[in-house]
Every structure is written in C-alpha cells, then in structure tokens.
Chain A
Amino acid sequence: MNTIVAQLQRQFQGYIVSLYQQGYLDNQFTELRKLQDEGSPDFVAEVVSLFFDDCAKLINDMSTSLERPDHVDFKQVDSGVHQLKGSSSSVGARRVKSVCIAFKECCDVQNREGCLRCLQQVDYEYKMLKTKLQDLFNLEQQILQAGGTIPQVSMN
C-alpha cells in the first residue's frame, strides 16, 4: 500500500512540476496551495472552478461585443480583459494571463481581428488549463483515497 501511495505521490509531483515548467501555472498557484488544509481541503479546486466560470462568462460577453465588425464595444472588451487578467493573476493561470496582456494591446489600438484571435486563444488556454487541473485534482483524490498525503511542491 505504501508503494502505491509513493507512486501516486511521485506521479503527482511530476505532473504539477511539468505544469509549472510548461508555463501553465506560476507562483501564485503555489501560494493558493498553501491556503489549503484539512479544514479547507477543496479550496484550490473551488477557487479555480470560480475562475473557469468567470472565464466562460467573460469570453462569452466579449465575443458578443466583438461580433459585429461595424459595431465593436471596445470599452466592454477592455473591461472584460481587465477582469480576466486580474482573476488569472490571482489563481496563477500564467498562460491565460499572458494572452490577456496581448489581448489588452489589441484592444488599446482597437484591432478587432487581433482581439478575435486573442479571444480564441484565451478560450483555448483556459479550457486546456481546466483539463490539466482536473487531472491534477484527480491525482490528489487518488492519493488521499490510498491513505496518503498530498505533497507540497517546491519550485526552486
């Protein structure tokens, strides 16, 4: 049984490290993990879930604003990007945040085509992250069910 736990822990460790190395996550995600304990075992999952809901909604609203070429509400888009950048920063969603930075630049110069590309990219990135984190949380659950503890991962 110990071997299974150790294996799962190694798998978890490898996976989360790869997520950092591939730029999906940054230090803020580590900070969030510090806030999780026995009293709040699902904190990170809850926060990222809120974040993904936020992404879906903001992307949808921005998509509507960008829809008609002759009638783009760049102010609304800018507001959406700002919010998305903020929340991605707060959860450590590094790639999503990077796209938001590029997205803001397109918005600033009222480049609709650029905005549409960024919108598509941000949609892709948040969904990708969602899948990756789901896999990570599944690994956590497996560790716990096998009677183990979830490793705190140091990224230095």
Chain B
Amino acid sequence: MALKDLSSSSSSELHVLAVDDSFVDRKVIERLLKISACKVTTVESGTRALQYLGLDKGSSGLKDLKVNLIVTDYSMPGLTGYELLKKIKESSAFREIPVVIMSSENIQPRIEQCMVEGAEDFLLKPVKLADVKRIKELIMRGGEAKEGLTKSPSPKRILQNDIDSSPSSSSSLISSSQDVSSLDDDTPSSKRMKLEPS
C-alpha cells in the first residue's frame, strides 16, 4: 500500500504527481492539491511522468521515489492518460499507487475502460476543491473502497450515477460532507462509481 511509504517523507503529506498537457490546468491542479496539504510535482506529459518515475527506457522504476497518488489527464498528445495508467499498473514498483484520471469529456466507455484498468477514480473537469478533498480522503483511508471490487464495473451502476446529477447523491462510499461547491450544481464535477455489490 502506498501509505507505507510515508515514513521517509515529511510528516504525513501526500506526494502527488499531476500529469496534464495544459499549462492552465497544471497550475490549477497544483494549487488545488497544495491547498489540500499535498506535496505536488507536475509534469506535462505521460512520457515525462514515466521519466520521473524511472519507468522509461525499460527500467523498472526509481526505488526511493515516494509518490502516493498520480492524477492524470486523459487526453494528452503522445501517451494518453489511459496508456500511462496501464504502464503504471504493469510496473511492480508503482502498481499499488492509486491513479486518478481527469477528463473534460463524460464518456462512459472511457470511464469504464479506466476503472477496469485499475484507476482509483475518474474526475470530470473542471476539477473543484471538493473533488480533490474527496480523493485525498479516499487515499488517506487506504482505499477501503477497494474491498469487494470487481474487475468489471457493472454498466448499470454507471448509468445510475449518470442520472444522479447532483454531486451529493453520486453514490459516494465516503460522504464528503464538506462539499463547498454548492453554489450551483448543474454539472457534477466527479463521478464516484459504487463498484462493490450493494
């Protein structure tokens, strides 16, 4: 579990690697994470992310690198977020690290594809503070949501979440009571899929 690696990092700060080809989005996600008391490293591409992790050129990863969470955009030139996710999950050094995918497009097959590949969660852009807080809580709790996780998420559940358009009713296992984005709830910013059987 990624949390075991916190022993060598200062206090209990999560170290997050954020991957996005948009300069604007990198700045925003960095701030969102920093304000949520995370240490942040941002890179502009999947390739750079692999380099940072030491997974490029066929090497198996930098041993002493402590990364607790990877947040990546889906649509990026070169290596997509999905391809990056696959590479991370294929590596013995980093497969336990939770990976969260971000996308501006709410495409169910895409979401499914990422969840099946082992993504922790899927965030719809624009990302809000409430999303980051929720993800952080999820990670800090050691991903207990993973208990009972089936490899193939049920499509019916995904559709169910899609119909629930307000963030508060998005079948979240961990209720984020401090949802600060209550000003307008026309578009949910994140979809949490309840993957274990009810």
B125 cross-chain contacts in A, Cβ below 8 A: 86, 89-90
Identify which of A27, A37, A87 contacts B22 (C-beta below 8 A): A87
- Contact check, A90 vs B126: say whether CB atoms are below 8 A apart: yes
Residue from the list B31, B104, B127, B128 in contact with A85, Cβ < 8 A: B104
Stretch at the interface among A3-11, A40-48, A142-150: A40-48
B128: contacting residue among A31, A51, A155, CB under 8 A: A31
Q: Tell whether B24 is near chain A: CB-to-CB under 8 Å.
A: yes
Q: Which residues of A contact B180 (CB under 8 A)?
A: 34
Residues of B154-198 at the interface with A, using a CB-CB cut-off of 8 Å, are: 180-181, 183-184
Question: Given A50-B24, A83-B22, A40 and B104 touching (CB < 8 A)?
Answer: no
User: In the bound complex, how far is the Cα of B180 from the Cα of A28, in angstroms?
Assistant: 12
Complex contact A86–B22 (CB within 8 A): yes
Given A27-B183, A40-B31, A91:B24 Cβ within 8 A: yes
Known: A85-B104, A156-B183. A54 touches B23 (CB 8 A): yes
Pick the residue among B27, B127, B181, B184 that contacts A50 (CB under 8 A): B27
Residues of A contacting B128 in the complex (Cβ-Cβ under 8 angstroms): 28, 31
Question: B35–A87 contact, CB under 8 A?
Answer: no
Whether a CB of chain A sits under 8 angstroms from the CB of B25 is yes
User: Do the beta carbons of A31 and B24 come within 8 Å of each other?
Assistant: no
B residues 50-76 touching A (CB-CB < 8 Å): 75
Q: Which residues of B contact A91 (CB under 8 A)?
A: 24, 28
Q: Report chain A residues within 8 Å CB of B49.
A: none
A27 touches B35 (CB 8 A): no
Contact size class for A?
20 to 34
CB-nearest residue of chain A relative to B36?
A35
Would you give the shortest CB distance from A77 to chain B, in whole angstroms?
A: 15
Across the interface, do B32 and A35 meet the contact criterion of CB distance under 8 Å? yes
Specify the main secondary structure of chain B where it touches its partner. loop
Interface pair A28/B126, CB less than 8 Å apart: yes
Contacts of A85 in B (CB 8 A): 104
Q: Does A32 contact B (CB under 8 A)?
A: yes
Task: Tell me if B129 is interfacial: C-beta within 8 Å of chain A.
Answer: yes
Distance in angstroms between the alpha carbons of A153 and B125 in the assembled complex = 22
> Smallest Cβ distance from A21 to chain B, in angstroms?
13
Bound: A72/B123 CA distance, A: 34
The interface residues of chain B lying within 8 Å CB-to-CB of A83 are 22
Minimum CB–CB distance for B26 against chain A, Å: 9
Q: Are A32 and B28 in contact, CB atoms less than 8 angstroms apart?
A: yes
- A55-84 toward B: CB 8 Å interface, digit per residue (1/0)? 000000000000000000000000000110
Out of A35, A92, A155, name the residue touching B35 (CB < 8 Å): A35
- 10 residue pairs of the A-B complex, CB under 8 angstroms, read A31-B126, A32-B28, A34-B129, A54-B22, A54-B23, A87-B22, A90-B127, A91-B24, A155-B183, A156-B183
Q: A residues engaging B (CB < 8 A)?
A: 27-28, 30-32, 34-35, 37, 40, 43, 46-47, 50-51, 54, 82-83, 85-87, 89-92, 154-156
Interface residues of B, Cβ cutoff 8 Å to A: 22-25, 27-28, 31-32, 35, 75, 104, 125-129, 180-181, 183-184
Beyond known contacts A28-B128, A54-B23, A87-B25: 6 more, CB 8 A cutoff: A34-B129, A34-B180, A50-B24, A50-B27, A89-B125, A90-B28
